[in-house]
Structure 1
Amino acid sequence: AHVLFLRQALGSQAVNRPVIDLHNSFNAIRQGFNPFNDPVSFFVGAFVFEDVGVTAYNGAAPLITDKQNVLAPAAGILATEAYHAGAIRRYLIEIRTLTVPNTGLTVEQLANAISNARNTLAGGGDQGLTVMGTPNNVAADANGVAFSRNTDGVLKIVYLNAQKQPGGFFPQGLNGQIK
């Protein structure tokens, strides 16, 4: 539903779906990690995307020029992404001591490593499942406001490199003009 809404909102400016790699990209995160092997791995894989989605929508909000027709629905999508991210975090916190198959790491260790990698690539704006040993249901600042990422930060994460060169989840890059 989100993709259809966005395509309609963009009209003639909508671009074709880029090539997406959900195999090699996850192996780059942790050798042997496959989010499609089992439910635990699936939720860790979802953790990769949902927090980034929240920060990306939050960062993109000021760029929306059509305040009348697009801003409110986009804010609604942001809220939905935040619900998803929170639910995934809560579940992963509950199972944080389980070992993620084929990784040798617990859920907590792998999720925190993913968060640390996102921080390294994008220059901050991320928190793991636990902060100083305390469960962390929401990645947010001291005021409880969700972190925000600009397009550069999002691209570094989804390309899995600080140079923003095509790779990672989008081996041929994204389509269209990225602002």
Structure 2
Amino acid sequence: MSFKVAAALTVALALVAPAFAQTDVDILNFALQLECLEGEFYNYAVGLGGLPASARGGGPVPIGGMTANLTAAGLTLAQEVAFNELQHVQFLRSALGAAAVPCPLVDIGPAFAAAANAAAMPANATFSPAYSPYANDLSFWLGSFIFEDVGVSAYLGAAPLISNKTYLGSAAGILAVEAYHASLARFIIYEYGYTPIAVNPSTTVSLYTVSGLIATLRNTLGGGSGQNVILPSGAAGIVPVDSNSIVIPRTPAQVVSITTGGTAMKGLFFPNGLNGNIKG
């Protein structure tokens, strides 16, 4: 079965499958694992070797993490995001207490190259050299763009499922932080969008083109209408919203489909799937 067919089938099944009674603990554990993914990526990128063992909660060391080749300015920005994501993991783990699940195995290396190639598939292109978010500043913020929009839509989609108002308030606070992160990544891509990115040794495309391919892939795998950082009209698209200027939510199943590449609830960034009761 092709990647595109599998992705479409996964999304269709997610939309018609009956939901089970998800508790607040289930939802917070789901959020925790998304934060594990982001936390590992950023904390490796800024040279901290990923999350500390206590934040992983006994979970495994990630695949493919490394220090990014960032400028001084890029590192300063990335360090703030990395600190935020570490604190999100620690906060959720503290809130859940003994009910917190270990961080799952995350792939923050080869999975990025696979995602970039999947995004380029409609154009029959393969990135060569393979895309890595650790190569330079723009590659890093493109990697951030892959994650952050998904995190914002995931928190918004989960909010109506949370019954405890204290948890709901905390989730809203984290959503706001993730939205700041997403806007930072989107603005940097907008500012430097005409920078060429190698698709193969003899062909380049603009950073705008790559971010647009990624946005399209996200929509294919997980629904929604997340937009590129520049609109077809040429206007800025820093804030991806619907016709009422409201962020578009995604269900946990849609988020899992995006982060696993639409491959039966495991694969891509979560090669062994997620822990806890919400797996897709």
The answer to whether the superposition gives a TM-score over 0.5 is yes
Measure how far apart 1:119 and its partner are.
Answer: 0.5
Q: Does 1:81 align with 2:178?
A: yes
Alignment-derived partner of residue 53 in structure 1: 151
CA distance in 1 between counterparts of 2:198 and 2:178 reads 26
Q: How does 1:50-129 map to 2 (within 5 A)?
A: 50-67=148-165, 69-101=166-198, 104-129=204-229
Q: Contact conserved, 2:106 with 2:270, CA < 8 A, in 1?
A: yes
TM-score, normalised relative to structure 2: 0.61
How has the CA–CA distance of structure 1 residues 11 and 125 changed in structure 2, closer, same or farther, with 3 Å as cutoff?
A: farther
CA distance in 2 between counterparts of 1:33 and 1:146 reads 28
Please, which runs of 5 or more residues in structure 2 have no aligned partner?
Answer: 1-86, 117-126
Q: Contact conserved, 1:40 with 1:100, CA < 8 A, in 2?
A: no
Alignment-derived partner of residue 172 in structure 1: 272
CA distance in 1 between counterparts of 2:211 and 2:192 reads 11
Q: Does 1:150 align with 2:251?
A: yes
Alignment-derived partner of residue 38 in structure 1: 136
Q: What letter corresponds to residue 79 of structure 1 in structure 2?
A: A
Q: Contact conserved, 1:125 with 1:149, CA < 8 A, in 2?
A: no
Q: Does 1:140 align with 2:241?
A: yes
Q: Choose 150-159 or 25-34, whichever is displaced more.
A: 25-34
Q: Does 1:28 align with 2:114?
A: yes
CA distance in 2 between counterparts of 1:65 and 1:11 reads 18
Please, which runs of 5 or more residues in structure 1 have no aligned partner?
Answer: none
SS of the aligned residue for 1:135 comes to coil
CA distance in 2 between counterparts of 1:102 and 1:70 reads 44
SS of the aligned residue for 2:158 comes to helix
Q: Does 1:16 align with 2:16?
A: no
SS of the aligned residue for 1:126 comes to coil
Whose radius of gyration is greater, 1 or 2?
2
- Computed over aligned residues only, the root mean square deviation of the Cα atoms, in angstroms, reads 1.5
Measure how far apart 1:165 and its partner are.
Answer: 2.8
How has the CA–CA distance of structure 1 residues 102 and 41 changed in structure 2, closer, same or farther, with 3 Å as cutoff?
A: farther
CA distance in 2 between counterparts of 1:123 and 1:164 reads 16
CA distance in 2 between counterparts of 1:102 and 1:42 reads 17
TM-score, normalised relative to structure 1: 0.93
Q: What letter corresponds to residue 3 of structure 1 in structure 2?
A: V
Alignment-derived partner of residue 91 in structure 2: 5
Measure how far apart 1:101 and its partner are.
Answer: 5.0
CA distance in 2 between counterparts of 1:80 and 1:164 reads 30
Q: Contact conserved, 1:125 with 1:148, CA < 8 A, in 2?
A: no
Measure how far apart 1:153 and its partner are.
Answer: 0.7
Q: Deviations over 1:63-106 (max 9, x none)?
A: 11211x21111111100111111121111100000023566331
Q: Contact conserved, 2:222 with 2:254, CA < 8 A, in 1?
A: yes
Q: What letter corresponds to residue 20 of structure 1 in structure 2?
A: V
Q: Contact conserved, 2:225 with 2:248, CA < 8 A, in 1?
A: yes
Q: What letter corresponds to residue 195 of structure 2 in structure 1?
A: L
- % same residue: 41
